Structure 1
Amino acid sequence: MEMFPPLYALVRRPFTTMSIWSCGLLLVILLSGGGASSASNYLIGLGSYDITGPAADVNMMGYANIEQIASGVHFRLRARAFIVAESQSQGNRVVFVNLDACMASQIVTIKVFERLKARYGNLYNEQNVAISGIHTHAGPGGYLQYLVYIVTSLGFVRQSFDVIVDGIEKSIIQAHENLRPGSISVNGGELLDAGVNRSPSAYLNNPAAERSKYKYDVDKEMTLIKFVDDDWGPVGSFNWFATHGTSMSRTNSLISGDNKGAAARFMEDWFAKKFFNEGFERIYSNLSGTVSIPRRVSSIVSNLHEQRKELMELASTFQSSPGRPATRMSSVARRVRSALRQVDRPQFVSAFCQSNCGDVSPNVRGAFCIDTGLPCDFNHSTCNGKNELCYGRGPGYPDEFESTRIIGERQFRKAVELFNEASEQLKGKIGYKHMYVDFSNLEVTISKAGGRTETVKTCPAAMGFAFAAGTTDGPGAFDFKQGDDKGNAFWKLVRNLLKAPGKEQCNCQQPKPILLDD
């Protein structure tokens, strides 16, 4: 089953704003207003490092399927880091690291901060560094510290842990060493065909007045941040969009960044190809005054015979070790070498970050029974009463690799559109805010009929019977069902042998029947 989705709100609904990380990072990076800033008022630095980890004999993180053991690589995983700093020596700075992993973890974060402190002192710390995962379910597990997260990996896996910590640290080091003056722009738009609600019946339990506030039953908004170096031009971007990393199923055994990891690869390759073509077109244009090739005299340089003298001068400038130039560098040679200098430009880094993905599935064709091919039961996602037979289908069904490519490509194409059209420049001071929140003891004020309000409290964590049923992206086992608000006697007996929940906890969690108490 898909065991570890993000935390849900008290009622499951789409958000019109971005997720906690998303909102926080926009606040963290740049506080708009507060005086004008020049394009060079910020230092920006980007970095990227491999975090693929052990590719065999390690349980994968996400579906909690003990049989899902890695046996190879679909494509490699990366940590991508972005630093924004004020240009003054004592100015604020923030770091955002996006991982091709299911999630970060407290123990990973603690170890990363230990290393950063040893290297940079207090420059980077828990206050100004955010680490987030794309929620792929196809990465190595065993790197978290809590039992429930590592039970299917049969404990802590040091290799998984070390490669993620190393990759985060080295991506931040790269970004720090690449800090250069630059500007930042933001853009946003709707992407309609890369995510659907995998629990539409649960969404319909929200009051009609609540649902009427939103255009869709999931968040369809993509928000993109574009980074531009003052000298080199665009050097990277990251965006937030809500869709689960579950295009690859619970039976997949190849390490993969799923659809968001694929989208990042697509965008980085797109920019590299775009730059390569444009860079060499500029060379041809400098030599001939045109980028066209009117005659097939040479596939490299047009108008070869008309520029023979100048090209001979150019050829004489190339050295053969230990020889020396025969003549002074001509103006054409200077232009060529100036263009070729572009190979020294900063590496283009693009991250596709996770937003409020809750019940947002990339399996956009819907959920069907694998035995009959008919749609699953609408309310409980079962097939003849069994949840194990109900699976969501991606756009490339039955090929999940194709589904991964398609959903990744849809995000990539939208990101390119937003990237090319990003014109709203962010200005202002850099700030950040970090806090710890005890979600087991929060007071929440809710509206009641007649304009009244009521203050209620949250409870300590507990997993319900419906949780064990998983989702249509990754069904659970046995006879659990989604939407179960009663439970059954056998599993209650098993639960009580482990830990029987107290009366206060049962009342607080009602109407959810508790399967596993905190």
Structure 2
Amino acid sequence: MMELLASIGCHFRIPLKTMWLWISLVLVLQYSKTVLSDSNYLIGMGSYDITGPAADVNMMGYANTEQIASGIHFRLRARSFIVAEPQGKRVVFVNLDACMASQLVTIKVLERLKARYGNLYTEQNVAISGIHTHAGPGGYLQYVVYIVTSLGFVRQSFDALVDGIEKSIVQAHENLQPGSIFVNKGELLDAGVNRSPSAYLNNPASERSKYKYNVDKEMTLLKFVDDQWGPVGSFNWFATHGTSMSRTNSLISGDNKGAAARFMEDWFEQNSAKSDELGTDEIPRRVSSIISSIHNNHHELLELASSFQSSPGKRATRVSSAARRVRSALRQADKPGFVSAFCQTNCGDVSPNVLGAFCIDTGVPCDFNHSTCGGKNELCYGRGPGYPDEFESTRIIGERQFNKAVDLFNTASEQLKGKVDYRHSYVDFSQLEVTIPKEGGGSEVVKTCPAAMGFAFAAGTTDGPGAFDFKQGDDKGNPFWRLVRNLLKTPDKKQVECHSPKPILLDTGEMKQPYDWAVSCNNIS
């Protein structure tokens, strides 16, 4: 190559500055073949409001008929992430500031996506998840057990979710650009505790010895980096309940995970703004369209060229500073907004009320085995780190997740590779065969049965105690509530034996009036 360039310089007397320009272009073309190949995915993010009705609607999570919304702590959002191979498969993941996803919501969202994009987004490659906040409006699911406390279906809640999810996915689709994904993991020790430690101790010692803690303390984070704009988003999985806000709260809130997402998005935007003020933003070069047909990879060439940074120096004049701010503003108008989601994972008995559970009448710790105070569950409540201020507890647990996520985000270096793929299947949990070990050796095959809620379910948890005289860990039940149960549906002998030793309070898997109380494979469409 150098011989060719020397010949050109000799015979055509090209000025030295022009010759070095051509050298730079040749190097860029060669360099781009390797650098741009690192972008093995198309990535896109979107975010849209899903707050819904903020007054006179029962909240979803605590199953408390008296918890009626009366205002907003902060607004709720749907955050969508799309990852696609340029000529291959793609997946969509949506994280909702809601208690949970809804089959009916998903069906209607998919209908809208089909009208827009054909078969590009279907039930096979679209996953929708909730952060499990207990401070969002309810009434958006289609089964009785989930909407009984909201006294039925609430169209306003439903429409807000469907509209917001659809629009967030559309945003993510329209933002698709070449980019890379990085993964990082780490332990977060002070944002979740086991709210039923006595129940956990019922697990065999051999099982408990497999784990370092009695709850999952690991956070896993994905970092999305756009080729042109740099980092554009992240989401992480971490287990802790959305119950920093209590069952007496009446303000719409994303709880600790919704707060963490806002903290991280604000943190990134503020840091980006500071970088722009210091003049460290990368300003795309403008190239005349006259030469657009010279190279087939013109767009890639421009992206690579815009990544080159000038040598450090001082601002020359006030005019140059003003010009920089103008260019920065124009650049920011095109830059996709940073989207960060804090997703829920195996939260089970993981509580954000990390100080433990105490009796509200005496201030002493609750009964260890049954989470009661003087035999009553209604007086036993968990305490968050900001006790007695639940808003402060929400902020602290959110901030702890946010701080860990920032650390993982800043140190993420393991890049994801490989094909994009997905798996989707329906499993009938009422008809599963499971092989279990027998005492004294050997094994046996047992079969699951339709769903049913036990007496202990009605006792609630230390995050949100139930009512009446129910107790956690109850394996007996009582005659009065059996009579009430039988007015709705009496479980047959087979069902009772299958769920033993758990006494059945509500035989939800077999209750069909006025319509299905719980999901089954017979009513999935």
Normalising to structure 1: TM-score of the pair? 0.84
Aligned with 2:343 (options 337, 340, 353): 353
Contact kept, 8 Å, 2:41 with 2:180, in 1: the verdict is: yes
1:204 and 2:201 matched: yes
Provide the residue aligned with 1:17 in structure 2.
none
Letter matched to residue 342 of structure 2? F
**2 CA distance for matches of 1:371 and 1:464?**
28
SS at match of 2:366: coil
Deviations 1:370-415 (A, max 9, x none): 0000000000000000000000000000000000000000000000
Query: How far 1:451 sits from its partner (Å)?
Result: 4.5
SS at match of 2:240: coil
**1 CA distance for matches of 2:311 and 2:231?**
27
How many corresponding residue pairs?
447
SS at match of 1:73: coil
SS at match of 2:215: coil
**1 CA distance for matches of 2:61 and 2:143?**
14
Provide the residue aligned with 1:138 in structure 2.
135
Distance 1:282 1:208, change over 3 A: same
Aligned with 1:447 (options 437, 453, 462): 437
**1 CA distance for matches of 2:281 and 2:404?**
31
Calculate the aligned-residue CA RMSD, in Å. 2.0
1:342 and 2:331 matched: yes
Q: Which has the larger radius of gyration?
A: 2
Aligned with 1:219 (options 213, 216, 220): 216
SS at match of 2:71: strand
1:493 and 2:492 matched: no
Provide the residue aligned with 1:191 in structure 2.
188
Aligned with 1:366 (options 356, 366, 385): 356
Contact kept, 8 Å, 1:182 with 1:228, in 2: the verdict is: yes
Please list every run of 5 or more consecutive structure 2 residues that lacks an aligned counterpart in the other structure: 1-34, 283-308, 509-525
**1 CA distance for matches of 2:311 and 2:120?**
50
1:385 and 2:384 matched: no
SS at match of 1:441: coil
Provide the residue aligned with 1:166 in structure 2.
163
Provide the residue aligned with 2:303 in structure 1.
none
1:272 and 2:286 matched: no
Letter matched to residue 152 of structure 1? T
In the TM superposition, 1:86-485 aligns within 5 A as 86-88=85-87, 91-282=88-279, 307=316, 310-311=317-318, 314=320, 333=323, 337-343=326-332, 344-485=334-475
Provide the residue aligned with 1:81 in structure 2.
80
**1 CA distance for matches of 2:311 and 2:221?**
38
Letter matched to residue 421 of structure 1? T
Provide the residue aligned with 2:513 in structure 1.
none
Letter matched to residue 186 of structure 1? V
Distance 1:283 1:489, change over 3 A: closer
Query: How far 1:178 sits from its partner (Å)?
Result: 0.3
**2 CA distance for matches of 1:484 and 1:213?**
28
**2 CA distance for matches of 1:355 and 1:109?**
19
SS at match of 2:279: helix
SS at match of 2:45: strand
Letter matched to residue 358 of structure 1? G
Query: How far 1:336 sits from its partner (Å)?
Result: 5.2
More relative contact order in 1 or in 2 (CA 8 Å, sep 6+)? 1
Provide the residue aligned with 2:511 in structure 1.
none
Please list every run of 5 or more consecutive structure 1 residues that lacks an aligned counterpart in the other structure: 1-35, 292-301, 319-332
Distance 1:290 1:250, change over 3 A: farther
SS at match of 1:173: helix
Query: How far 1:287 sits from its partner (Å)?
Result: 12
Contact kept, 8 Å, 1:283 with 1:336, in 2: the verdict is: no
Deviations 1:115-150 (A, max 9, x none): 000010000000000000000000000111011111
Distance 1:163 1:284, change over 3 A: closer
Provide the residue aligned with 1:19 in structure 2.
none
**1 CA distance for matches of 2:44 and 2:457?**
41
Query: How far 1:87 sits from its partner (Å)?
Result: 1.0
**2 CA distance for matches of 1:283 and 1:205?**
57
Distance 1:347 1:454, change over 3 A: same
Query: How far 1:342 sits from its partner (Å)?
Result: 3.4
Query: How far 1:84 sits from its partner (Å)?
Result: 0.4
Contact kept, 8 Å, 1:264 with 1:351, in 2: the verdict is: yes
Query: How far 1:228 sits from its partner (Å)?
Result: 0.2
Contact kept, 8 Å, 1:284 with 1:290, in 2: the verdict is: no
Contact kept, 8 Å, 1:37 with 1:427, in 2: the verdict is: no
**2 CA distance for matches of 1:92 and 1:287?**
38
Contact kept, 8 Å, 2:277 with 2:325, in 1: the verdict is: no
Normalising to structure 2: TM-score of the pair? 0.83
- What's the % identity of the aligned pairs? 81
Deviations 1:160-188 (A, max 9, x none): 00000000000000000000000000000
**2 CA distance for matches of 1:390 and 1:336?**
56
